[in-house]
Structure 1
Amino acid sequence: MAGTLWPAVHAERAALAADLAGLDDKQWAHPTLCGDWVVEEVVAHLTAGARINMARWLVSIVGARFNADLHNQRRMAEHRGATPAETLELFRQVSTSTTAPTRDTAAWLGEVVVHGEDIRRPLGLSYTPPVATVTEVARFFASRDFTVSGKTMAKGLRLEATDGPFATGTGQVVSGTTLALTMAMAGRAVYADELTGPGAPILRERCAS
C-alpha cells in the first residue's frame, strides 16, 4: 500500500511548487501555521525530508543529541537556497523523490499536505487536495503518534468526514471536511474552528494546548 501513495506525494509537491512560483519576496518571508517558521523555511524543511533516508536521518538526529528542533534547523539550513527562487528550485528537484526516513509513506504524504496548508492558509491561497489523498493521511494520523500526535488528539472521539469515507473512533462525534479533521489532528487550531459536533470543543481545546 505504501508504494501506491508516492504518486500522490509527487502530485502534492507539484501543486505546491506551482503555487510557490507566484510568490514575491515578502510572501516568502510570511509567517506560516508551523510555529515560528516562515514560508521559505517550511519549503526547505520539505526538501530536506525528501532527500534524507533512514541512515542519514540517524546520523543527523544522533549528531543533534536527539534534539528534533536542532536536527530540523540544521537540515533546513542545508536545503535553503541563497534566494527564494533557489529554495524553490531545490524543492522542485525533489518533486518526484521517493526517498524518506522511513517506509511510512502516508506520513510523508501528510508532511506535504499539512505543510502545504501551513503555507497556503496564511497567504490566502486557494487549494484543496483530493479527498482520497487526504483520507490516507487522516487514517494514518488517527492510527499513530508519529510525525504528529494524531492518535492522541483523536482519542475518545468519533471523527466523521462530511466529504468522504473517513470515520474513526468512538465517543463524542466531531464532524467536518477530511482536510479540517486532518489538520486538527496535526494540531492546527484554525482548522478545529471549522469542525462541528459535541466533540468539537474537546478537539479544539487539544489543538489550543
Structure 2
Amino acid sequence: MGRVLPDPHPHRLAPRTARHVRVRAPVRRVRLRRRSHSAESGPAASSDQAERGGQVTEANLPKAALWDAVFAERKALAADLAGLDEEAWRTPSLCEGLSVRELLAHLTAGASLSWPRWMLGVIKCRFDFDAQVDVQLRRRLGRSGAETLAAFEGVATSTTRPIPLKAMLGDIVVHGEDIRRPLGIRREHPVATVTAVAAYFQRTNLAVPSAKRAAGLRLEATDGPFRAGSGPLAAGPTIALVGAMTGRAVYCDELDGAGVPVLRERCESR
C-alpha cells in the first residue's frame, strides 16, 4: 500500500490513481454487488463515545479484539473473491503495477512472515525492497487464481506478523479495498474496525505518510464516531477518509469540505 505491509519502500505498492491506470488485459465488467456484513462478528463501536461525538482510537480495541478484526477482514475478503474467473483475477488493483491476484498473494505473504524472516529476505535481495515484495508474493501466487485464494484462506487466522498489529489491521482493510473496488465489490466494514484504522493512520507515518496527508485538516466521518485534527474540513465515509489518508485520490470523490482539494493534492503528489 504504498507500503502498509512490511515493505518500507513506498514506490512498489504506490496507490494507482485514475491518471495512471494501465489495464494490461481486457477486463470483464463486473456488476456492483453490495454485501452487508452487519451481522458478522467484530468489535462493536462504543455507543457512548458515538453519542458524544468523540474520537474512537485504536487504543479502544484490546489486542484480542484487534486480532478478531483482522481475522474477520481476511475471511470477508476471501468470501468476496470466491468464484472469480481468471480474467477477473487479472484486473489491475489500486496498487501500482499489481493485479488483484498479485495483491492478494502479497497479503498472504504478510500473514506468513515474521519480522526476522522478512528482514532476512530483504538482506538476500540486497536491500532491494521492490525485489523482496515481488519474490514473496510470487512464492504464494500459485498456478491459478483459485490457488492464490486457497493460500490466502490458509492464513486467515494466522497471528504471524512482520509489522505492528494495528498496522496489520490497517493493511488488510486498505488492501482489501484495493482489491474489491476495481472488481465492483463493496463491503460494509464494522464501524469499530474502520474507526480504529482511521485513528491509526491519522497519527502515524510508519507505513505510508498518512499523518502528513492529514496534517492541518479536520477529518470527520459521516457514518461513525471518528473525528480528528483541526483546520479545513474533509468529511465523508470512514473508509473514504482511510483511503485518502493512505494516498488513494479516488476516495476524495466521496468526501466533502474545504479540505478535500488539499487532501487530493497530497494524494496525487505522494
Once the two structures are TM-superposed, the CA of residue 63 in structure 1 deviates from its matched residue by 2.2
Q: Following TM superposition, by how much is the alpha carbon of 1:122 offset from its aligned partner in structure 2, in angstroms?
A: 0.9
Q: Whose helix proportion is higher, 1 or 2?
A: 1
Alpha-carbon distance in 1 for matches of 2:64, 2:132: 27
The counterpart of 1:55, out of the listed 93, 96, 116, is 116
- Structural mapping, 1:48-127, within 5 Å: 48-102=109-163, 104-127=164-187
Amino acid at match of 1:29: R
TM norm structure 1: 0.96
Q: CA RMSD in A?
A: 1.1
2:103: which partner in 1? 42
Q: 1:39-58 deviations in whole A, cap 9, x for unaligned?
A: 11001000000000011011
Residues 103-152 of structure 1, C-alpha deviations (whole Å, 9 max, x = no match):
x2121111111111111111111212112101111111111112222111
Q: Identify the residue that residue 23 of structure 1 maps to in structure 2.
A: 84
Q: Which has the higher contact order (CA 8 A, sep 6+)?
A: 2
Equivalent AA in structure 2 for residue 145 of structure 1: N
Residues 193 and 204 of structure 1 are in contact (CA less than 8 Å); yes or no, is this contact kept in structure 2? no
SS in structure 2 opposite 1:97?
coil
Find the partner of 2:207 among 147, 153, 156. Answer: 147
- Gap regions ≥5 residues in structure 1: none
The one-letter code matched in structure 2 to 1:80 is L
Candidates 247, 257, 266, aligned match of 1:187 = 247
1:137 and 1:93 map into 2 onto residues whose CA distance is 24
Report the identity percentage: 52
Q: Which position in structure 1 is the counterpart of 2:216? A: 156
SS of 1:193's partner is helix
SS across alignment from 1:56: helix
Partner of 1:160, secondary structure, is strand
Q: Please tell me whether Structure 1 or Structure 2 has the larger radius of gyration of its CA atoms.
A: 2
What is the aligned length? 208
